[in-house]
Amino acid sequence: MFSSRTRWDRTANRLASVAEARRAAGAQVVDLTQSNPTTAGIPYAQDLLSALSDPEALRYEPSPFGLRAAREAVAADYRRRGVDVPPDHVVLTASSSEAYGFLFKLLCDPGDVVLVPRPSYPLFEYLAGLESVAVAHYPVRYDGGWHLDLPALAEAVTPRTRAIVLVNPNNPTGSYLKREEAAQVRRIAARSNLALVSDEVFADYGLRADPRRLGCMAADGPALVFCLGGISKSCGLPQLKVGWIAASGPAPARDEALGRLEVVADTYLSVATPVQRALPGILARLPELQAPIAARVAGNLELLRARTAPPSPVTLLEPEGGWYATLRVPATVTEEALVTRLLEEDDVLVHPGYFFDFPHEAYLVASLLPPPALFARGIDRMLARML
């Protein structure tokens, strides 16, 4: 009766079961997986959502790509980042997940393949699977700094490959795409007639200056490129549910893609009118929205650097951006045993590396968003476990 696309193993994993049991027992779990800024003590102005009450939102004016004023605001935000993206090349979506769904529909037939980075966020398999698309991986490596394994990426391309997904900066490694890497990836894509999908939702959260960094892939170069953004991360407002796709690349392919995306988007019309009306005002307040998040992340990262300095047995794999930190820990037990013990005996919840598909053990991934006192408590308990 049911589609094979939804034949998932829905059994709660060991870590989730233990977390539920500890909380049911009244334990005060320090959650180092917290990634929702609206529940992390980040301050927001009380008038921020007043724009949602605009009386103009009572009139429904369906537009496949979204209201013109909202798309102009997105185009202006790209100009802030030093990139020219015309409003007519912007498609509003309800989320970056929906944006991936639109693009996989656009680019892939059932059984086609998209290449995604490893390690990275585990949602890709679900998003691709729901479109009957397969996922293959290319490696992101660390040797004192993060970089794409470009020969491995080129070798991973097959006749069924349709797109290369880039996450810039990557989640959870925090690694930005470098300019030379971007140039080579464009050449790989153009040579094999592939599209590039560049997920840039964390792009504004750089943790240090780096002239090698490429903050946005949008360009009229040799490859078709779709850049993804949204206010869930850029403004710390995941509850408002609006993201976007910005298309660029060779004009014939770009225009054909936009023509087809118009039909896809018109089929769903998923972005609510009130948030479209509010979007220009929200993006205009982006500096005030980002500042407390950036300060929280920077402060927690500084504490983590100090706590993991030699002779600590734990190594911080230095992030370049985003909200997460990757820690290499002694492989004395499996990651699953370690994170379970941390939760059962120390009341600390942290992600194991295998959650993000690290190729080998042992790694932990911690969010940098929790309130500083809680973050310090959780990190101290975690490091004490390693001694």
How big is the CA angle at 78 (ends 166 and 102), to the nearest 5 degrees? 50
Q: Is the pLDDT of residue 387 over 90?
A: no
Q: Give bridge partners of residue 135 from the DSSP assignment.
A: 114
Smallest CA-to-CA distance from 305 within 291, 285, 325, 286 is with 325
Spell out the SS3 assignment of the chain.
CCCHHHCCCCCCCHHHHHHHHHHHCCCCCEECCCCCHHHCCCCCCCCHHHHHHCHHHHCCCCCCCCCHHHHHHHHHHHHHCCCCCCHHHEEEECCHHHHHHHHHHHHCCCCCEEEEEECCCCCHHHHHHCCCCEEEEEEEEECCCEEECHHHHHHHCCCCEEEEEEECCCCCCCCCCEHHHHHHHHHHHHHCCCEEEEECCCCCCECCCCCCECCCCCCCCCCEEEEEEEHHHHCCCHHHCCEEEEEECCHHHHHHHHHHHHHHHHHHCCCCHHHHHHHHHHHHCHHHHHHHHHHHHHHHHHHHHHHCCCCCCCEEECCCECCEEEEECCCCCCHHHHHHHHHHHHCEECEEHHHHCCCCCCEEEEECCCCHHHHHHHHHHHHHHHC
| pLDDT reported for residue 255 | 98
Phi/psi at 353 (5° precision): -60, -35
Residue type present at position 278: A
Question: In the predicted model, what is the mean pLDDT of the chain?
Answer: 96
Q: What is the pLDDT of residues 209-230, one digit of tens each?
A: 999 999 999 998 899 999 999 9
pLDDT digit string (tens) for 251-284? 999 999 999 999 999 999 999 999 999 999 999 9
- Going from the N-terminus, what domains does the chain have, and what CATH number goes with each? 12-43+287-386 (3.90.1150.10), 48-284 (3.40.640.10)
Q: What is the mean pLDDT of residues 158-187?
A: 97
Mean pLDDT in residue range 309-333: 96
pLDDT at 13 over 90: no
Residue 68 has pLDDT above 90, yes or no: yes
Q: Find the mean pLDDT for residues 152-178.
A: 97
pLDDT at 330 over 90: yes
Residue 18, pLDDT > 90, answer: no
pTM of the model: 0.96
Give the mean pLDDT of 54-70.
95
